[in-house]
Amino acid sequence: MQIRIVAGSNTAIYKQIADQINRSVASGELEVGQMLPSVRQLARELVINPNTVAKAYADLVQSGIVETQAGRGFFVAKRRQVYTKTERTRRLDESIQSLINQSFSLGFSTDEVLDRVRELFTKALHNVTESSS
């Protein structure tokens, strides 16, 4: 898995890392039980402060996407729900709100955004099916 970060982006660097790992787990590129690079290793690779990587990993652990094994490192966790339905909905709404805000400021209509969401969703689901078959 290749992680790329952009400094100066609207998305904080730790969030970019967490998002990319999250996406790789969802698409099956990273499999359950697979070990992630150590905090120090990834920080060196990306030339960023190790605390930023640690924060990304901590977020992934909190979301249940990654788990720590004492002294061994960080691993992709078995998929499970760590939030209540209400909390999941709240988190989803937060992401959708951010999408709506971006869409407004970039000047896309509701239909254009929805079409694009469908298109990318289909593509992502296709990737998951391909990698699991």
Please say which residue, 84 or 109, places its beta carbon nearer to another protein. 109
- Point out which residues bind another protein (CB under 8 A): 5, 7-14, 40, 43-44, 46-52, 55, 98, 101-102, 104-105
Complex with another protein: residue 10 or 86, whichever CB lies closer: 10
Minimum CB–partner distance for residue 125 and another protein (Å): 28
Q: 27 or 52: whose CB is closer to another protein?
A: 52
Give the nearest distance from C-beta 66 to another protein in angstroms: 19
Q: How far is the CB of 95 from another protein (least distance, A)?
A: 12
Taking the complex as a whole, the smallest distance from the CB of residue 104 to another protein amounts, in Å, to 6
Question: Whole-angstrom Cα distance, residue 60 to residue 2?
Answer: 17
